[in-house]
Structure 1
Amino acid sequence: MAIYIFFAALWYLSLFSQTFFQHRYAAHGAFTMSKGWERFFFIFTYITQGSSYMSPRAYGIMHRLHHAHTDTELDPHSPANSSNIFSMMWGTRAAYQEILHDEKVVEPRYTKNLPEWASLDRFASSTFSRLLWVAGYIVFFVYFATNPYQYLLLPIVVSMGAFHGAIVNWFAHKYGYINFRLRNTAMNLLFVDVLMLGESYHNNHHKHPSSVNFGRRWFEIDPVYYVIRLFEWLRVIKLAPTVKKQLAVA
């Protein structure tokens, strides 16, 4: 039972870090926060994502490139450029590494207003840090696993971020339904998205990239939207003026 609880907790906590901090905050600037809270969420993201941690700065740049060049040759992760999900994710990794290590020339418009903590990113992205987390996961499984089948979850735990990315970046560009006709293949993968915390409403998101609520229809529940409104009420974050206007009209 401990393994399943651990897996579920890690699934949702790491996914929350990705959608709240790396995606909606870093990539789209849907809200602002103080430097103190930004550092808190840097650390929270590192702890919850562990061996699959992604730099919020590098993630933000890569995701902005995805929106600007969706389904073209310049898209860092599009099924249109790959024959299968594994080649797409390998290409995504290569694109991310180039951005992380400043090996790719990126236009200034994609690098504005990004959260940065270079020393943490260097350590969190190091081989030492990743292997340390992997070792910790293995020890946990050895200690708490009650049958061999539970070890099948270990590879997903180690590569949790890539696993989340594969679900959205591959399947949400191939399967689902649309609310908006766009010049790309983005679709809404799930009708009620509790599994991916709203991230699978990909068609909605490509139509309204800066929106804090990825759901648009009454049944499209975006759990993180309500957390964001709670954080706004608690003054942890401040919604961007354009986002406030969108909410007032909605």
Structure 2
Amino acid sequence: MSILIFVIILWYTGLFFQTFFLHRYAAHQTFTMSKMAERVCFFLTWVFQGSNYLSAYGYGVMHRMHHAYADTEKDPHSPKYDANVFSMMWRTKNIYQDINQKRIAVADKFTKNVPQWESFDKFASSRASRLVWAALYTLFFIAFATAWWQWLLLPVAFFMAPIHGVIINWFAHIYGYRNFEVSDTSKNLLPFDFLMMGEGYHNNHHSHSGRANFGVKWHEIDFTYCIMIVLDKLRFIKLNKSTS
């Protein structure tokens, strides 16, 4: 039971900071926050993503490119232009690293106001940091695993952020339903998105990419947006009224 609880906590906390901080803040700027709050989010993203840490800059820029070039040859990740999910994720990894390490030229429209904390990113993205987190996960499994099958969840902990990416960038462009006709293949995975905290309403998001609330229909509850409303009331963030 301890292993399942641990993996569930990693799943939802890592996912929250991916969708709240990297996606809705860094890429789309659906809300504002102070520089101190931004630094806190950088740190908490590292804590909860651990070995899967993603840079706000690398993610934000790449995600803007995904919207601009969705399901074309310039899209960083698309089932239409990759033979399988593994080749798509490998290409995504390479593009992300090229962007994050500034090895390729990127148009200003993709980098404008994307937050970056270079010194922290260098540390959090380092091999040493990832290996330390992987070692801590392994020690937790050694201490608390009570059945052989629980060890099958260790790779999930190691690669949770890429798994989240696969669910949205691959499966949400193949399976699901559409509320809006858009020029790409984006779909909503689940009518009630308990799995991806609102990220699964992918067609809604592609149709209205500037909205902080990814849900549209009454049953499409966006749990991340619900938390954002609370954070707005607490004045940790300030939601842009035009994006709700």
Q: TM-score, normalised by structure 1?
A: 0.96
User: Does 2:7 match 1:3?
Assistant: no
Q: Which residue of 2 aligns with 1:213?
A: 213
Q: Which residue of 2 aligns with 1:104?
A: 104
3-state SS in 2 of match to 1:79: coil
3-state SS in 1 of match to 2:113: coil
Give matches, 1:61-72, under 5 Å: 61-72=61-72
Q: Which residue of 2 aligns with 1:16?
A: 16
Aligned Cα RMSD in Å?
0.7
Structure 1: which 5+ runs fail to align? none
Report deviation, 1:83. Answer: 1.0
Q: Which runs of 4+ in 1 moved over 6 A?
A: none
Q: Which residue of 2 aligns with 1:125?
A: 125
Q: Which residue of 2 aligns with 1:83?
A: 83
Give matches, 1:166-205, under 5 Å: 166-205=166-205
Report deviation, 1:104. Answer: 1.3
What do the CA deviations read for 1:181-231 (whole angstroms, capped 9, x no partner)?
000000001110011001010000001111111010011111011111111
3-state SS in 1 of match to 2:238: strand
Q: What is the identity, as a one-letter code, of the residue corresponding to 1:139?
A: L
Structure 2: which 5+ runs fail to align? none
Q: Partners of 2:177 and 2:223 in 1: how far apart?
A: 20
Q: What is the identity, as a one-letter code, of the residue corresponding to 1:99?
A: I
Q: Which residue of 1 aligns with 2:226?
A: 226
Q: Which residue of 2 aligns with 1:152?
A: 152
Deviates more, 1:114-123 or 1:21-30: 114-123
Q: Partners of 1:128 and 1:51 in 2: how far apart?
A: 10
Q: Partners of 2:147 and 2:44 in 1: how far apart?
A: 31
Q: Partners of 1:172 and 1:148 in 2: how far apart?
A: 32
